[in-house]
Amino acid sequence: MHSAETDEITGLYPLLPQIGVVLERPEVRALLSDLPRGLVLHATRSVLTNLRQEISAGRHTRESLEGALKIFPASVAAAIEAFLLPSLRPVLNATGVMLHTGLGRAPLSEKALANIAAVAGGYCNLELELASGERGRRDSHVESLLLRLLALLLEQKEESFLEQRSVIIVNNCAAATLLVLNSLAEKGEVIVSRGELVEIGGGFRVPEIMAKSGALLRETGTTNRTRVDDYARAITPATKLILRVHQSNFRIEGFSEMPDLEQLVHLADLHALPLFEDQGTGAIVSLEDYGIQHESSLLRSIRRGVSVVAASGDKLLGGPQCGILVGRRDLMEKMRTNPLLRAFRVDKLTYAALEATLLQYLSGQERELPLLKMLALDAEAVRLRCEAMAPALQRTYPGAEVVPAQSLVGGGTTPGASLPSFALSLAHHSLAAHSFSAVLRDQHPPVLARISEDRVLFDLRTVPPESDGILLRVLLELGAHRQEEAVANV
């Protein structure tokens, strides 16, 4: 096909400069004196490619193309700036989901950040015993601290508690579970209730982890009911371990039954089998103080006498991503000599953040942890912050209002657990809720919010109060800017 239109388009391509010519322009030469030549070339090519695509899409006249070429060096500079921006960056979480796996779960405390900066910028005693000058274990840093803290919270004598137990830190709870199953039950059988063969957020599937560990899954009971007798009947000479998986992200309501942890501990003891619990949430404070019904905690599992327990560091503990294993010393020794531990070990940044977080618990300052602060936040305080922002917003977002909301704990922790909160509810005058929320994600900083009935909800519980101003600025700019655009487009 040949038309006047395609002729016009083809006629535009020769106007595009050769790369060599662009590189000779003084503004681009200035860029070359500061930046690697390859980067400038790459950016120039990408601007040229964009222009070529715009031409072929029929988006340019001769005039508009000449305009674009005039600002070519500025476009190259902008492309370079975009290349040099980290892809991983801070966002404002106005979803009200406190542990959002997509948004990095628990925010770290000031103390944790300061300790990372203090330890990671130079050398540290990661695997060195300062007293003897000998090679040390990297998990010794957290081990005695965590055990001391647990002994304190459990009101147990510290010496015997420390003597009998050990701690291992790995990359995450999934790695911790794999390490336990492989170390304690490879080629043997692991008994688990059918009701616990679950998938927990992010593709953590118990049967798949089990298969990778080399242990054989021995299912018992039914999806909704498993009794302690079911476990007892499943025990054979091949049994190496009893596994309990905390049902963290779902709950079977109604006609369901699972044995208590105590009953399982008793059964395991009777048969001299270890009982391993994948506890998951890592809670060591009572969530009931925060108005959340949550019967499982790392503390409770240890109190009940579980042989080994695994938890995440970045869920209800409020620390960095890691997997925390606490267990009987003889069993933990088997994990310590497993080559998998070498593959799963964490770096100094993680230890620095975890140690600082645990120290906040030990010194009774855990309420300073961002996660616990958010949990403790009174709904009324959230409402007042929303009310303070509403009048300014009502000018650009007619009908903007403050509405009751429910913040979610999230992160695969407490099924459906929520806290009463408040949110700003906005409708953009020219963008539907989905488009508005896409534009919000494209801001600096990106803003994440919730959509409900074609309105966008901003739950301020998960926004640090000191960021209220930033959120307001972004929203006002977006409202005003889009309004002008909408007017211009009429």
Residue ranges in contact with ligand PLP by CB under 6 A: 172-174, 200, 202, 204, 245-246, 248, 278, 280-281, 312, 323, 412
3-state secondary structure of 402: strand
Distance of alpha carbon 126 from alpha carbon 93, whole angstroms: 34
Query: Measured over all CA atoms, what is the biggest interatomic distance in the chain, rounded to whole angstroms?
Result: 90
Residues 6+ apart with CB under 8 A from 38: none
User: Angle 298-355-204 (CA atoms, 0-180°, nearest 5)?
Assistant: 45
Least Å distance, CB 141 to ligand PLP, is 20
| Tokens linked to 163 | 């003597």
Of 3, 73, 109, nearest to 464 (Cα)? 109
Q: Which CB atom, from 218 or from 246, has the smaller least distance to ligand PLP?
A: 246
Distance of alpha carbon 179 from alpha carbon 185, whole angstroms: 10
Q: Which CB atom, from 398 or from 416, has the smaller least distance to ligand PLP?
A: 416
User: Angle 362-363-365 (CA atoms, 0-180°, nearest 5)?
Assistant: 105
Least Å distance, CB 85 to ligand PLP, is 28
Q: Which CB atom, from 101 or from 140, has the smaller least distance to ligand PLP?
A: 101
Q: Which residue is nearest to ligand PLP (CB)?
A: 280
Least Å distance, CB 378 to ligand PLP, is 27
| Tokens linked to 113 | 């950040």
Least Å distance, CB 349 to ligand PLP, is 16
Least Å distance, CB 435 to ligand PLP, is 32
Which stretches of 58-149 are assigned E, i.e. beta strand?
A: 92-93, 97-99
Place of tokens 């010794």: 140
Least Å distance, CB 284 to ligand PLP, is 15
Distance of alpha carbon 463 from alpha carbon 446, whole angstroms: 12
Q: Which CB atom, from 103 or from 449, has the smaller least distance to ligand PLP?
A: 103
Distance of alpha carbon 68 from alpha carbon 62, whole angstroms: 10
Least Å distance, CB 473 to ligand PLP, is 34
Q: Kindly report the number of other CB atoms within 10 A of residue 439's CB atom.
A: 15
Least Å distance, CB 198 to ligand PLP, is 8
Q: Which CB atom, from 323 or from 479, has the smaller least distance to ligand PLP?
A: 323
DSSP letter for 454, please: T
**Which residues in 411-421 are b (16+ Cβ under 10 Å) and which e?**
bbbbeebbbeb
Least Å distance, CB 83 to ligand PLP, is 31
Least Å distance, CB 200 to ligand PLP, is 4
Helix 26-34 with 37-56: angle, nearest 10 deg = 140
Residues 6+ apart with CB under 8 A from 369: 106, 109, 318, 357, 360
Of 324, 389, 322, nearest to 108 (Cα)? 322
